[in-house]
């Protein structure tokens, strides 16, 4: 199985636990995006990011001085969002680290696709940002099907989708019947319908990654045992490629 997750906006530099040993698959294309972003002024970046002055200033400085091969942090340690806090990769055992290095992939608007131990630098660029490049009107067009092709490689495996719609959209439209995508939904029942709360879902996705790593999950059936954060697999509301967990 291959697991896809979203990145987080907030990032850190952390090379104390594990060196960033991997090289992102699309580093040359990331360099192109960096140059494009470095050519924008602060007002243009603020509009692109839809962010405040402090965040804009920080990332303007980042892009003006960014070197993609220095001061690297393993990707799964670089992101500091809710999902990553609940995943807690900083306390992974050696076996858990090996599991995520083999199975976990992070979809990124800036890097395209990252393995857990790929070395990255802090950046800000959401997949849905309307960044125009020389040959594309936005990042979805820029990456096209390349993220999906890199993800599946030569081996057809089930893709466990723990990413938000913003990021899974870079993969799902290109999948064929030979590459099944299993989407996990985390929610509560309200009025007979499954209601997904963004913050709780992010936490649950992180819990699921750590659960899979701890249990060395190897097939979809293993996911049904997940019960962290008060969630329980709902057989009646799930189907073959949509697993619903209710709290």
Distance, in Å, from the CA atom of 40 to the CA atom of 46, rounded to the nearest integer, reads: 10
How far is residue 80 CA from its own chain's centroid? 12
CB-based contact 83:5 (threshold 8 Å):
yes
Specify the residue for token string 């999948």: 175
| pTM reported for the whole predicted model | 0.95
Average pLDDT value for residue range 110-136: 96
Distance, in Å, from the CA atom of 48 to the CA atom of 212, rounded to the nearest integer, reads: 36
For residue 188, what are its two tokens?
């509560």
Q: 19: pLDDT confidence band, cut at 50, 70 and 90? A: low
- Return the H-helix or E-strand segment holding 151: helix 146-152
CB-based contact 246:185 (threshold 8 Å):
no
DSSP 3-state of 120: strand
**pLDDT value at position 184?**
98
Question: From start to end of the chain, where are the E strands?
Answer: 2-5, 73-74, 104-108, 112-115, 119-120, 159-161, 181-190, 193-195, 232-233, 242-246
Domain residue ranges of the chain, discontinuous segments joined by +:
2-246
Q: What percent of the chain has pLDDT over 70?
A: 98
Whether pLDDT at 113 is above 80? yes
DSSP one-letter code for 225: T
For residue 209, what are its two tokens?
């990654």
Distances (CA, A) of 152 to 3, 28, 86, 106, 210: 11, 20, 27, 13, 22
Whether pLDDT at 81 is above 80? yes
Average pLDDT value for residue range 19-47: 93
């Amino acid at each position: 199985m291959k697991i896809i997750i979203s990145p987080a906006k907030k990032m850190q530099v952390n090379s104390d636990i594990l060196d960033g040993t991997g090289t992102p698959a699309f580093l040359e294309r990331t360099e192109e995006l960096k140059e494009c972003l470095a050519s924008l002024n602060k007002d243009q970046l603020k509009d692109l990011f839809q962010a405040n002055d402090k965040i804009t200033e920080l990332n303007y400085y980042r892009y003006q001085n960014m070197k993609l091969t220095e001061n690297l942090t393993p990707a799964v340690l670089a992101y500091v969002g809710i999902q990553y806090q609940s995943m807690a990769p900083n306390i992974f055992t050696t076996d858990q680290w090996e599991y995520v290095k083999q199975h976990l992939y992070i979809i990124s608007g800036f890097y395209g696709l990252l393995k857990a131990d790929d070395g990255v630098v802090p950046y800000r660029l959401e997949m849905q940002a309307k960044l125009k490049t020389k040959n594309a009107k936005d990042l979805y067009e820029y990456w096209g099907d390349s993220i999906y092709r890199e993800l599946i490689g030569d081996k057809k495996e089930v893709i466990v989708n723990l990413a938000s719609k913003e990021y899974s959209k870079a993969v799902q439209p290109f999948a064929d019947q030979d590459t099944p995508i299993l989407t996990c939904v985390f929610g509560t029942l309200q009025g007979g319908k499954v209601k997904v709360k963004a913050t709780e879902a992010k936490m649950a996705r992180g819990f699921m990654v750590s659960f899979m790593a701890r249990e060395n999950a190897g097939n979809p059936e293993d996911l049904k045992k997940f019960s962290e954060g008060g969630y329980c697999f709902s057989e009646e509301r799930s189907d073959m490629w949509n697993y619903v967990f209710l709290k």
